[in-house]
Structure 1
Amino acid sequence: MKKNILLKPLCCVLSAFILMLSSYSPVEAAEFPASWPQSPEIAEETGVLMEASTGQILFDKGMDEIRYPASTTKIMTTLLILENIEDLSQTVTFTDVITPDLEPGNSTINAQVGEQLTVEQCLYAIMLASANEVCTQMAVYVAGSVENFVSMMNQRASQLGCQNTHFVNANGLPDPNHYTTAHDLALILAAAIQNEDFCRISGSATYTIPATNMTSSPRNLENSNALINDSEYHYDGVIAGKTGHTEAAKNTLVTAAARDGMTLVCVVLRSDGENRFIDTVSLFNYGFENFHLSPVYWLNSEEPAGYVVLPKGVESNVLTVKDSDSGDTRTRTYSYQGVDLYSAQISLPVSFEQEADIPSSSFYQIRGWDYVLPGMGVILLILCISEIIILISFASRKKPKIKKKRSA
């Protein structure tokens, strides 16, 4: 009985050393806190506003409902090209694989079989002119066939956490099996804008492809995203984006903008007329005017371990932290006004050696403890060693008595 009494505080002491978090990820929220700023109404069927660095959702209108992406597909196409080709000055020679995409009504730069462009020129043609035939040719250039490239697209989407996306081509032309969601497109653009070349190309208002081996005149390209080009909807801070349009998808728009250290991704699907630009501006204004990134700290760290998006005037020290264990996994959940905003997990147990190697990605909400905890840690370690010595001493003194058997 005494042994159990001694073991109990020892277990409590040891548990203090495994409160470490190795990674964090946003929790998809079906609801927002009671004091969440009132969001604007949008005309589109579905839409989302997401903070890019955290993945936190600030606005949700059917963000996980499946829709056709149209040419916003080309964000994934461009991302894969950039991830698989380092030298953008490489020459691409167009082949007859582009012929079906040159039919009247398709979005093209009227590339010709045998014409040569650099990879960079092809990327501008894809993102600014939305050239379908260039997407097809680059898919073959990267993967050997459109089918192989599409497999890469679907695999990459899965890696990014897309749960309701399936591609069958590289350009977004209508197909019943080619679909996505506003949320998934936001995840794809959030990954793409981490690439500097993607932002440089996608964020350009205009670009000129000079004369080629098959043309005597240059091609002047203009970005169809009105938030990027010089239009009434131009939005300061936009860094990248892509428009789309088919009869099946209607108008689509995916855009990223950065202000005051926060990067927002906005997606609107199935829009009519200019609503996609009007509503994207409205959602960006909503995000930048009402929210900010608030740092969260872990234990004795002087530097922020990460950030959480909260209404302006609210800081992360108001968050409620709750730990729960299941099997060998500990989950820590961060909540605001009863609504979970983030969760984090680690595998248990964590050794002292492992703790030293784990980056500071855990969050602790009371900064005053940053200065107290180092000393407490030493005291706890001493107590732990003392408990072990006492247990060993107790066990060595209490030897079991062996009763001698009586002979019959």
Structure 2
Amino acid sequence: MKRKYYPFSAIVGQEQLKEALLLNAVNPRIGGVLVRGEKGTAKSTAVRALGALLSLARNGNGGEGEVVVTLPLNATEEMVAGGIDFQETMKEGCRVFQPGLLKKAHEGILYVDEVNLLDDHLVDIVLDAASSGRNRVEREGITLAHPSLFVLAGTMNPEEGELRPQLLDRFGLCVEVHGEQEPEGRVELMLRRESFDAAPESFSEEYGRDERRIGESIASAKTLLASVRMPTHLRGFISELCHTSNVAGHRADLVIEQAARANAALRGAREVSVEDITEVAPLALVHRRRDPVPPEEQQPQPEEREQEQQEPEQRNQGEDEQQQEEQQRPEEAREPEQGDEGRDDESSGDEPQPPETPEPEEPSGQPEEPGKDEVFSIGQSFRVRSIATPKDRKMRRGSGKRSRSRVSQK
């Protein structure tokens, strides 16, 4: 008995996730979808439910999810890409190719759970095949290529580690999923899950009409996709969106174009509109958007550099002139003391007279006689500035004899 999967149309909420999966189902050249979110948010359920829709769209027989190929975390390169079938090679006497998971996933879904935990070289092989639609094998003397057009769906929980940026960029679309916040939605989710676990057959029949409608829309959109036209002026609009989002490279432009064509095909239109672009652009830019780089510092011009070099020299010259003025101040203060000896000789009598305060001499305006010596008395010496150096040793708070030194030269 084949296992029944939870119906795609019965998932509560997660509209962005369902939209990204449908776009990739219509146009696998978008490059897959990466679903990031906390555990228990219907990531795996939605991917497996999409497999049932693709099976229904392909042959219309019940949709048990036969087209979903799961890539295990312990997979090897030979298991993924394919290699030599040694048993058949010994029987036939020539090399016999054994196809891998990429061959089995052709026209289906390749599901990688916890893609952030998969080896990087395996992720590279899968992403190469998803973007080109072909798998090229070169190993053990075999060189061949086979079609491998599939919907790549990778899920991950950021709490368990992030995906490398160069691998993250290669996923066409990215969706951030969260749990339901409204109590009504959480209650409805519990009721639907209980009904499905109790009677999967009857629950699937209840949503059978919605499932068939979605499956038919996928089939008709895939047929219409080749005739959907992208106007030239809208390509400029896509480029402007990517430029303002500061994305690296041109992969975002190509993904938005392919996703917009798929969205128009789902609507049944033969020409892409602005609404198609604005609807799918957030899914293609959310994991590629970067913060703007701050502007570089402008280099000073040669004239500014010379001015900056002259400023310290002028500053040092000004300090030297200030020190010279301070040294000359005591000598100028001693000039009023001249002539005291002449006044003492002229004074008559034995009685001591009180010292007179010398009055400042007014300039006479007459030039001094040449060759006359001036005698200056000894005055106060200039004040010497004290040099204070901060302590460069910091003692420990704890016990012990050692201490730490902080020296500016180290």
Rg larger for: 2
TM-score (norm 2): 0.28
Quick check: which one's strand share is greater?
1
Quick check: which one's helix share is greater?
2
Higher relative contact order (CA 8 A, sep 6+): 1
